[in-house]
Amino acid sequence: MALTPDTRDWLGRLAPVDVATLLYLAGATGAVLAFTGEDHAGWDSLMVANALLLVLVLLAPRAREGGPVGRFLGDWYPMLLLGGLYAEVGVVNVDLGYQHDLAIQRLELLVFGSQVSYRWIREMPSPVLSWLLHTCYLAYYAILYGSPLGLWFSGRRDPARRTIFAVMVTFYLCYVMFLFFPVAGPRYAFEQAHNAATAVWPAQLTDRVLDLGDSWGAAFPSSHVAAAVVAALCALRYWRPLGLGLTPLTLGLIAAVVYGQFHYAVDALAGLIVAGAVLASLRWAVSREQFAARPLPRRVWEAGPSRA
């Protein structure tokens, strides 16, 4: 069926982040429908939430034409709704109640030779190291939002939008994995450590934060690692001073998710792979677009078609 001119015009006004959000919504809604049964009657609220997000996506192009506030909300709505999207993953996984930790623990043994997330904080209970790494872990949201916000308010609006898109694609890939392959993580699979490293206040604060807002089944791959790396490297590319400020925190966070027993080491490794794949794909797409838009050299189009 042919598209009407109005439909083609509306599709043309969708931003890349809108398209990515629509694709994720389709996957998340499919997961909810696939797992829905008699015991999951409460999942109607998840469908309503997904429908409301669909409405927001459809309204985003018009919002971006409505002045500075509308432009900001139209560009930033996925980042503003991250908490709700993350919570949905936890609701689904807790209700289903199954996980694949044993498979990931076996992979951990295969790759690293031991359960690194269990051993590291017990064999190296350094208060100084724990203080530094848990502080970096707590800086996660500063990295995540600081990168696009810094770009946005420094006048680098297009790089900020590209960063938001890259970060959200990263999250969407991780969240789909969480929904179809839930892994609880070492925080739930192993007994918690109790030593000098866990007694420092950043470690205790981190535990309180996770008790309030963690989503069960969202361990593999580590979205903390993947999204933070993408945000930091985008900042490093588009505004080097900002990126240099975020990079040490990001490196500390990568170590912290394992040291603090929040993720298996293979979760962090998988997060790095996701981040690398997203950044490489986007870089290839931009390079391809720029190549396609590049005019042919004058001598080529003046010569005309070659004669065999």
Rounded mean pLDDT, 106-112? 97
Question: Is residue 2's pLDDT more than 90?
Answer: no
Which residue ranges make up each domain of the chain? 1-80, 98-303
pLDDT class of 179 with cuts at 50, 70, 90: very high
pLDDT class of 4 with cuts at 50, 70, 90: low
Identify which has the larger pLDDT, 226 or 83: 226
pTM (two decimals): 0.88
Rounded mean pLDDT, 141-159? 96
127, 200 Cβ separation under 8 angstroms:
yes
Beta bridge partners of 218: 183
209, 120 Cβ separation under 8 angstroms:
no
Axis crossing angle, helix 67-80 with helix 82-96, rounded to the nearest 10: 20
pLDDT class of 229 with cuts at 50, 70, 90: very high
Q: Choose the weakest-confidence range: 88-102, 108-122, 210-224.
A: 88-102
Residues 42-91: tens digit of each pLDDT: 667 778 888 888 999 999 998 888 888 989 999 999 999 999 899 888 88
Q: What pLDDT does 286 receive?
A: 61
Identify which has the larger pLDDT, 94 or 241: 241
DSSP string for residues in 148-214: HHHHHHTT-HHHHHHHHHHHHHHHHHHHHHHHHS-B--HHHHSPPP-STTTSSHHHHHHHHHHHHH-
